[in-house]
Amino acid sequence: MIKANSKVKLNHFKIKQLNQAAIVALEQTAEALHTEVIQAQVTPFDRGTLQGEGTFMDDSEAQSGRVSLVSSTPYARRLYYHPEYDFQTVENAFARGEWYEDWLPGGKHEKFTPRAFKEFYRKAGGL
């Protein structure tokens, strides 16, 4: 019978550093997504409130691995869930409802957020 012993020593400092890097990368990914959506000119635009100060990143749950892009204007939900509206395209050429759909699973930019997170994580984690 062969006996083997092994000893595992965890580097708690490095684990903490990598966990913090994941939080930083998550926040940076949300900001990058917000910028990407603005540059794609898909958000309805009248005075610019919805895509400007009306939409922000909520990072209050970042420590738990969750951040959100929040549109706080009273009309954001109505515009988002009604793609049949006739959106003006003077300021944003591709304005429409459901403006985040291209970045969700199945959308044409679905790989944007995983790729962005991976890159931000590498940089923040020093990898």
68-94 pLDDT, tens digit each: 999 999 999 999 999 999 999 999 999
Task: Please check whether residue 27 lies inside any domain of the structure.
Answer: no
Query: Would you state the structure tokens that stand for residue 64, as one six-digit string?
Result: 């738990």
Q: What is the DSSP letter of 62?
A: G
Task: Please check whether residue 127 lies inside any domain of the structure.
Answer: no
Extended strands (E) in the chain: 55-58, 68-71
- pTM of structure: 0.89
10 φ, ψ (degrees, to nearest 5): -85, 140
pLDDT of res. 127: 82
Task: Please check whether residue 20 lies inside any domain of the structure.
Answer: no
pLDDT of res. 1: 86
| Locus of tokens 């515009």 | 79
Instruction: Answer positive or negative: Cα dihedral of 36, 41, 45, 48.
Output: positive
* Structural domain range at position 87: 36-101
Give the total number of structural domains in the chain.
1
